[in-house]
Amino acid sequence: MFATRGTDLVDDVAYVLTFVLNRTVGRDHDQVHRLVSGDGASRRRSANDLFPGLFEPQQAVQPEEWRSVRDFMQDLIGLSRDDFVRVIRAIRRVVDATRRALDDPTGAYTDMVAALESISSSSLAPAASWDRYDGSKRKIIDAALVDTDEATADRVRAAVLEAERTGLKRRFVSSTLARLSPEYYRSEAIGTVRPPRAPDMERMLSVAYDVRSRRSHVLEDLGEGVWVFTDGAETAYEPNFERVLTLAGLWRLTRHVVRRYVSDAETVPAEPWDYRQALPGIVEMQLAPQYWIWQPGGLTEENATQRLDGFAEALIGWFAGDHTDGFPMGDVCREIQGLVPGLAAGEAKTALIATHALWHSCVDPKEHPADAAAFLEAFGPVLNQPSPSSFTFWLLGKQATPPWNADELAAMAQARTEARRRKDHAPLPPAIDALIQLETADRLEADGRHAEAVAFAANAVSEVPGNEMLIEWERRLVAGDHDPDFDVNAFLLGGRDKHADA
């Protein structure tokens, strides 16, 4: 869904004009008036003191400046879509930073560095030499290589330098330096106050990155009187580093580097582009699973576990009476029959088999197609092996306890807990994840392994935080009053929406 009056697109034009002209252009009259007029503050405490010229009142734009705007816009719209988006986002971020710098100078500083970082490239980071590598690190590595032959030591040093070259900080510093043209120190520096000196720039960029990464408190230590309100000076004195870039220095630097990025980037021919996905006001929403799980086409090994997750969620909802929508899975099951034989063993294959078996467990056996029965006979036995997908089938399809011993359950549940911490884990409804852990705790407690059972019970509670049934079951288990008859149906069907994933 999307809704727009086009004002965001007008704002982008204003951002570009502000960026290229170093003049404030915007639709927010009150904001512009406050920043340009100073809102009663002395000139030395105004936005114009931070960024010379940007918030100066009563300015005229000369014809050559309009030509520079036109040339920049032509170059900008000639970029590839990825490059265009990268530049526009950087421009928005840095211009917004200038407008809130009076209220939050440190936040503005980090956003301006982040804008520069967003257009950095590893390809512009030259290989460093060992004698220029960080001295404290070099000493440690050299000491460790004392007893190593020279060839091996050279390979280790080369590997360290390559890792350093591709590191985020090194990429930021090197990319920025590579995009500084001679004019940055010549015509563009005329009229500026304490502009950066070329030999100091690498060190100042390194400090700026540390500030952006919250690894340095140099700005807070200096105090705003030194680096914020500086009459527009682009550098400020700092005892430990000698010089640091001010907001004014970062503003001119960013404008120069972004313009170089645009001028150096490859121009591509115009190509069709679905602009609707980039319109402001777009909200992407996930459909309830009963509306899509039954639709054939597009089923792959990569999304197999998502199909089981959606099917299980829809089935639990149907059991609970949350909806009465039908979701005929016949066509999907035929798609599964064609896909599974070519897949290697793994959770994706098991998830597809579980989806197929779970659907047919809900259908009268007399209505099972012959090819479905043959498929289940050939591949169904995999569901007897411990896995989250198999557990889902046993829980919802057979409504029975899986035939696995405590050790097998514990190994599967522990692996599931570890997988859940990774972004690419196979999704399952929260209630099923909780029951995997609870069933394991129940079986371990029955075997006299109380401490292990308590740990898995805690996992169950953490999968559906605040669920009173799980909390009470865990409390009794810890107190030595184990309840072996946890009401799974009441847990699954009661209050499900409160705990379901968005």
Residue 194 Cα distances to 42, 94, 105, 243, 252, angstroms:
22, 21, 20, 10, 12
Q: Which residues pair with 150 in a beta bridge?
A: none
Rounded to whole angstroms, how far apart are CA atoms 98 and 105?
A: 9
Rounded to whole angstroms, how far apart are CA atoms 479 and 246?
A: 61
Model confidence, pTM: 0.62
Residue labelled with tokens 């960080």: 134
Per-residue pLDDT of the chain (502 residues), as tens digits, is 345 566 778 899 999 999 999 999 999 989 998 898 865 555 556 788 889 999 998 889 999 999 999 999 999 999 998 999 999 999 999 999 999 998 888 889 999 999 999 998 855 555 557 776 677 788 888 888 888 888 888 888 888 776 665 577 888 998 999 999 999 999 999 999 999 999 899 999 998 988 887 655 666 665 666 667 788 899 998 777 678 999 999 999 999 999 999 999 999 988 887 777 666 677 777 889 999 999 998 899 999 999 999 999 999 999 888 888 888 999 999 999 999 999 999 999 999 999 999 999 988 887 788 889 899 999 999 999 999 999 999 999 988 889 899 999 999 999 999 999 887 889 999 999 999 999 999 999 999 999 999 999 999 999 999 999 999 999 999 999 999 999 999 999 874 444 344 3
Rounded to whole angstroms, how far apart are CA atoms 139 and 133?
A: 10
